[in-house]
Each structure stands twice: as C-alpha cells, then as structure tokens.
C-alpha cells in the first residue's frame, strides 16, 4: 500500500508542476549553489530480488542516467569545489583543497552576483565488479563522470562482503527456520528463531539478521556468520528471494568489458545476479568474484572514473578502536596511491557513521573530501568532509509494476520523500510532546 501511495504522490508532484517549484525554492534557499550526490552500490539484474536495497538493474540505471544528464549539471567528484574563502568570492584554484578552505569555519556570505545552480555527482560504494561491467558502459554512453569507493582488502579477491554472504546462506538454505544466539554490544545475551519457510519469510529474516549484524561488535558478527554457516550449509535449493511481493518488509534503508554488457542469455553467469541463485555463487555453486580487480579499477580510473577509498576492510569505524580506524583510513589510501598512481583525495565512510575525531583523522591522512550516508544535499558553506548523499536503488525509482518511473526518480533525487518523512516525524514529535504535557 505504501508503494502505491508514494507512487501517486510522486506522479502528482512531478506532473502537477510542484516538483519544479520545489526545486526552484530549494535553489533559492541555497547559499550560492546546491550539490546533490547520488549513492549507488550494485548495478545488476538481481535488483528486484534485493532484500537490502543495494541494487539497480542496468535497464533502470540507464533510464536514471538519461534523466540526470538531461536535467542536471553533472560534475565529477574531483570538480567539487570547497567552500569559498572569507572575503567573498570563489576560492582560487590554488586555494581549492587547502586546509583553510576546508576547515568549515568560513561563514561569509556568497557574493550577490554569484550564480545559483544545482550540480549533481554520481558515486558507487564498495567497488562491486558490476560497476565496471554494467555501469561503466552506461556512464560512457551519457558522458557522465562518477566515483567508485573501494575497500582495498577485498579488491581482486573472492572474499565477499558479510551481507552478501548472509544473503547467500539464507537464500540457499532448505531449512524452514534458524535458531540463533548472540550478545548485544552491552553484553546482554539474545536468542531468536528466524522463520525461513517461504520466500517472503526469508526476506524478513534477512532484514532482521542484517540489523543484528550491523548492531553487534565485529567479533560477534563473525560469530553469527559462523553459526549460520554451520546451520545452513547443508542441503540447498535455488529459488529467487522475492522482496517485491505483498507482505515483504522494506528496509528504511559478467564477463563483458566496458565496451558492452553481456546479453540477457548470459545473465545467469553474472556475479551478484540473484536470478542465477544468489550473490557470491554461480550456477554450479562455485565462488565467484564480486569485487573489482586492480586492473579493472585502473581501467575505470583511466576512463575518467574517480577511485576513492572506502577503508581497507569496510569495518564500521565507530565499532573499532581509534588506532584500528586510523589504520583503515591511512592504509587504504596508501594502497590505492601505490596501485593506481596519484594521490587519492576522496573517502567514503563505511556505513556512513561519523564522529568528530574521524573527520580529523581523514583530514590528517591527506583526504580533501569525505562522503557520508547521511541523506540530504549540500549547499552554501558545506563541510567537504561531511558531504551528504542520497541512496538510490531499484525500488525507489520504479512504479508498483516494476517499471521505471520518471516521477519517482525525480522526487527521490530532489529529496521530496525525505522532506515528507522529516515533516511527518516533526508532527509526530510535536503531538507526543503535547500529549506528555497534558
């Protein structure tokens, strides 16, 4: 029902002219200009079976990029200008990237003659192989620059991200349920039974298990995955996890080169294609590589794609010691600099969680720009080490029938749904306060 309501709202806002006014109003409010940064992960044909909302199909991604190209001034992350220096005007090219321009302490007003505009940048997190096999040809077609943030510890290896392994384990299991015990970060023991008797139940189990794994410590997360492997690595069956059917919960959250994408007849051999069974495994149950190799990362870089750091092992920096977090930040930069040449200037926080000490660590490591997963846009004197991004996936830009909806995507890019959700929270909060005061 929510999907229909959101789609109807998007159609009314887009075709009724309200979106054009909304965009004009936000541009007028912006101090000088607006920067919208889109955050993608995977581009593959398993998008409609994606329980974690990380994927978009090549067909829909192509439609999205066509819309972006026609409606925005798209820039590379390397072209993002830091806030203006005090005294007015835009920072000179020599000053761009300097610590003075990046401290965020400048509160000067932009010059009145400054042109107000909206620019947009496209980014990908995690460095999946399909960023090279599927996304790059489409980006080249529309001449759209992009940035890919890679976790150096997984580049060129068959090692997979824990959420992909989790999806594989649940997806292939024959068991009707799984029993799991774990400890919360405060040490409190927990125990639960997760129903996996149907495709919809498996989606619900995956969403709940992912929430648990995100919440616990790294050591406990590894322990959970080990338990699941021991319980679920028996007889398996292959059927797609259906996350777009009624009742499925929603999270509030190939071989071809860049010259072309493999035909649909080869879709089953593409890594990460859930129609072939599940991520991390091919049709024969063999491990497949899901992340870029260094050669592919180099080719992306040579094609104009900015390669940035996503840490060494994609650990949440808030869940490890500061020494370990600093090692993740510094070591990943050193490896990328060595492998690809040049100095890496862009960093994306794994998981997007940020604390003040991390900002200083990133700055000290030599990065000039850092990206979070905090939804929103950037305007005026935004902090270049706290750049907000909007998450984009398949379901956020298709109608209830699964077809690309220009209205849905346009509203997602402009933050219409964010604004509605934020206002709804404020109204609910005021009502709760008013009720408590009675």
pLDDT, tens only, 165-198? 999 999 888 999 999 999 999 989 999 999 999 9
277/166 same-domain check: yes
pLDDT greater than 90 at residue 35: yes
Angle between helices 199-215 and 218-232 (to 10 degrees): 150
Let me know if residue 223 belongs to a domain. yes
Mapping DSSP to helix (H, G, I), strand (E, B) and coil, where does residue 246 land? coil
Q: What is the pLDDT of residues 78-95, one digit of tens each?
A: 898 765 544 333 333 333
Residues 139 and 192 in one domain: no
Provide the residue range defining the domain that includes 213: 158-290
Q: Give this prediction's pTM.
A: 0.80
* CB 412, CB 63: distance < 8 Å: no
Tell me whether residue 80 is in a domain. Answer: yes
Whether 432 is covered by a domain: the verdict is no
Instruction: Give yes or no for a contact between 325 and 290, defined as CB atoms under 8 angstroms apart.
Output: no
Residue with tokens 């398996």: 236
Last residue of a domain, one of 249, 271, 290: 290
Neighbours of 295 (CB within 10 A): 11
Q: Does 4 map to a domain? A: no
Residues 297 and 148 in one domain: yes
Domains identified in the chain, total number? 2
The answer to whether residue 89 is domain-embedded is: yes
Same domain, 246 and 297: no
Q: Is residue 72 part of a domain?
A: yes
Among residues 255, 290, 325, the one where a domain terminates is 290
- Whether 412 is covered by a domain: the verdict is no
Q: What is the pLDDT of residues 38-61, one digit of tens each?
A: 999 999 987 667 889 999 999 999
Please state the φ and ψ torsions of residue 74, each to the nearest 5 degrees.
Answer: -90, 130
Local confidence band at 280 (pLDDT 50, 70, 90 cut-offs): low
CATH of the domain at 335: 3.20.20.370
Instruction: Determine the Cα–Cα distance for residues 61 and 44; give it in Å rounded to an integer.
Output: 9
- How far apart are the C-alpha atoms of 273 and 280, rounded to whole Å? 9
Considering the domain architecture, whether residues 36 and 90 belong to the same structural domain is answered as yes
Is position 304 within any domain? Answer: yes
Domain match, 219 and 299 both: no
The DSSP 8-state label assigned to residue 351 in this structure reads: G
Whether 106 and 177 map to the same domain: the answer is: no
Longest dimension (CA), the chain: 69
The residues with which 278 forms a beta bridge, in sequence order, are: 281
Question: 310 and 391, same structural domain?
Answer: yes
pLDDT for 1: 61
Does 362 lie in the same domain as 240?
Answer: no
* Angle, in degrees to the nearest 10, between helices 162-172 and 199-215: 150
Are 138 and 210 within one domain?
no
According to DSSP, the residues that pair with 37 across neighbouring strands are 121
Residues facing residue 173 across a β-bridge: 236
Query: Among 290, 321, 351, which residue terminates a domain?
Result: 290
Q: Are residues 254 and 274 in the same domain?
A: yes
Closest listed residue to residue 35, CA positions, set 26, 46, 25: 26
């Amino acid at each position: 029902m929510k999907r229909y309501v959101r789609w109807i709202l998007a159609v009314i806002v887009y075709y009724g002219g309200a979106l054009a006014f909304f965009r004009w109003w936000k541009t007028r409010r912006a101090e000088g200009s607006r920067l919208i940064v889109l955050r993608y992960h995977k581009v593959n044909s398993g998008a409609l079976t994606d329980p974690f909302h990380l994927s978009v199909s090549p067909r829909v991604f192509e439609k999205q990029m066509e819309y972006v190209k026609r409606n925005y001034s798209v820039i590379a992350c390397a072209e993002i200008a830091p806030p203006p220096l005090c005294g007015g005007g835009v920072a000179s090219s020599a000053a761009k990237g300097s610590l003075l321009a990046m401290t965020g302490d400048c509160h000067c007003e932009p010059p009145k003659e400054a042109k107000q505009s909206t620019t947009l940048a496209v980014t990908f997190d995690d460095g999946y192989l399909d960023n090279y096999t599927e996304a790059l040809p489409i980006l080249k077609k529309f001449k759209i620059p992009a940035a890919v943030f890679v976790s150096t510890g997984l580049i060129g290896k068959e090692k997979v991200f824990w959420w992909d392994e989790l999806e594989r384990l649940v997806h292939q299991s024959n068991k009707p349920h799984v029993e799991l015990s774990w400890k919360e970060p405060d040490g409190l023991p927990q125990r639960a039974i997760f129903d996996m008797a149907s495709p919809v139940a498996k989606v619900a189990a995956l969403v709940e298990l992912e929430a648990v794994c995100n919440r616990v410590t790294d050591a406990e997360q590894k322990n959970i995955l080990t338990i699941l492997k021991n319980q679920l690595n028996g007889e398996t069956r292959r059927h797609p996890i259906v996350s777009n059917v009624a009742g499925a919960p929603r999270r509030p959250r190939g071989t071809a080169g860049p010259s072309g994408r493999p035909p649909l007849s080869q879709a089953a051999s593409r890594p990460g294609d859930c129609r072939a069974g599940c991520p991390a495994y091919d049709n024969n149950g063999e491990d497949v590589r899901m992340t870029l190799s260094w050669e592919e990362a180099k080719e992306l870089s040579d094609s104009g794609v900015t390669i940035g750091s996503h840490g060494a092992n994609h650990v949440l920096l808030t869940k490890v010691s500061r020494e370990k977090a600093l090692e993740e930040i510094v070591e990943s930069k050193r490896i990328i600099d060595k492998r690809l040449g040049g100095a890496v200037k862009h960093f994306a926080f794994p998981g997007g969680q940020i604390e003040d000490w991390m900002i200083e660590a990133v700055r000290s490591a030599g990065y000039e720009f850092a990206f979070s997963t905090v939804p929103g846009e950037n305007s005026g004197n935004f902090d270049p080490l706290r750049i907000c991004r909007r998450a984009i996936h398949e379901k956020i830009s298709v109608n209830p029938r699964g077809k690309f909806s220009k209205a849905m995507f346009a509203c997602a890019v402009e933050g219409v749904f964010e604004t509605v959700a934020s206002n709804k929270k404020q109204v609910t909060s005021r009502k709760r306060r008013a009720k408590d005061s009675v």
